[in-house]
């Protein structure tokens, strides 16, 4: 039997690290390819790490390097995403919107993931076994469920990501018939991304990266290759667009 390969993009993220451990635990014989902007320590033998920048040329080069193992891809999971940094925080009112934050967060949350999907498409079109490509989205991207307001650029960047993947799923249905695209909302996870905003999280709703990684792994296993895009939360429930 051919060894299954798993690809974890944005591998330095907290959930990604736990997801890598989950992949090795569930299928020790599989090989995991991890990709991030910096080197990360490997705790498993069946693992290859690649350093890649978040730009078109670097992503294209990385995918070209991986074209052979991609023929046995079972899962590809994209963890890239940002919310804040030392300069920018989510907006509370219209006056807080800035061009700099807009450009930075759209590149991180929308452009980078869709560039991966672009570069992967020609290779995934050649495989004849099921492959699930998952990208982390967010419930706050839901236009229908937005009742609190605020966080303009973050919401918009994730809503744009959703539209990009929805459009790509239509093309993938023609080009890569055995590939399933998924958008996953992990809930509020105890990670550097959510750290400044955890005080308002209801008790029992701040999840560990290990819990989220387990839920993500289990949900990936139950996806149906149907040419449709799934937009789901950590419980497996569909989120309204």
Residue 57: which domain range? 5-233
Res. 178 pLDDT band, cuts 50 70 90: very high
Give the CATH number for residue 133. 3.40.50.720
User: Could you tell me if residue 178 is inside a domain?
Assistant: yes
Mean residue pLDDT across the chain: 93
What was the pLDDT predicted at 205?
78
Token reading at 159: 């809503």
CA distances from 38 to 13, 34, 111, 145, 158 (A): 11, 11, 19, 36, 24
The domain total for the chain is 1
**What is the C-alpha to C-alpha distance for residues 210 and 52, in angstroms, rounded to an integer?**
25
Residue 98, domain member (yes or no): yes
Angle separating helix axes 56-65 and 112-124, nearest 10 degrees: 30
Residue 240, in any domain of the structure? no
Reported as a pLDDT band with limits 50, 70 and 90, residue 194 is confident
CA–CA dist 3, 24 (Å, integer) = 13
**Of 108, 219, 124, 139, whose CA–CA distance to 178 is shortest?**
124
pLDDT tens sequence across 42-91: 777 899 999 999 999 999 999 999 999 999 999 999 999 999 988 999 99
Is residue 55, in this structure, part of any structural domain at all? yes
What confidence score (pLDDT) does residue 192 get? 75
Does position 220 have pLDDT exceeding 80, yes or no? Answer: yes
Burial of 166 (0-12, 13-18, 19+ CB in 10 A): middle
Report yes or no on 19 lying in a domain: yes
pLDDT of residue 119: 98
Q: Who has greater pLDDT, 236 or 194?
A: 236
Cβ atoms of 78 and 113 within 8 Å: the answer is yes
Please indicate, yes or no, if residue 239 is contained in any of the structural domains.
Answer: no
Is the separation of the CB atoms in 208 and 228 below 8 Å?
no
Q: pLDDT-based confidence at 2, cuts 50/70/90?
A: low
pTM over 0.85: yes
Which residues on neighbouring strands pair with residue 233, listed in sequence order?
A: 185
At 198, the pLDDT band (50, 70, 90 cuts) reads low
In the predicted model, what is the mean pLDDT of residues 138-160?
96
Q: Is residue 21 part of a domain?
A: yes
Determine, yes or no, domain membership for 241.
no
134, 76 Cβ separation under 8 angstroms: yes
Q: Cβ neighbours of residue 168 under 8 Å, at least 6 residues apart?
A: 114, 117, 121, 181
pLDDT tens per residue across span 102-140: 999 999 999 999 999 999 999 999 999 999 999 999 999
CA 46 – CA 25 distance, rounded (Å): 11
């Amino acid at each position: 039997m051919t060894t299954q390969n798993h690809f974890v993009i944005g591998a330095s993220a907290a959930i990604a690290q736990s997801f890598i451990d989950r992949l090795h635990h569930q299928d020790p014989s599989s090989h995991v390819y991890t990709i991030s902007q910096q080197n990360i320590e490997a705790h498993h033998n069946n693992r290859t790490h690649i350093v890649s920048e978040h730009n078109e040329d670097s992503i294209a080069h990385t995918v070209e390097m991986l074209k052979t193992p991609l023929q046995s891809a079972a899962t590809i999971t994209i963890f890239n995403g940002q919310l804040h940094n030392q300069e920018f925080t989510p907006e509370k009112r219209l006056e807080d919107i800035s061009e700099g934050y807009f450009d930075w967060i759209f590149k991180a949350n929308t452009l980078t993931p869709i560039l991966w999907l672009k570069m992967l498409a020609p290779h995934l079109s050649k495989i004849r076994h099921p492959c699930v490509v998952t990208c982390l989205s967010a419930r706050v991207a839901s236009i229908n469920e937005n009742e609190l307001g605020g966080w303009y650029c973050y919401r918009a960047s994730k809503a744009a990501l959703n539209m990009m993947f929805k459009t790509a799923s239509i093309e993938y249905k023609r080009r890569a018939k055995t590939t399933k695209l998924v958008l996953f909302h992990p809930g509020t996870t105890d990670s550097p991304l959510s750290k400044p905003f955890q005080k308002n999280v209801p008790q029992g709703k701040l999840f560990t990266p290990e819990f989220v990684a387990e839920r993500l792994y289990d949900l990936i296993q139950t996806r149906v290759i149907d040419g449709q895009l799934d937009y789901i939360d950590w419980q497996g429930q569909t989120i309204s667009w």
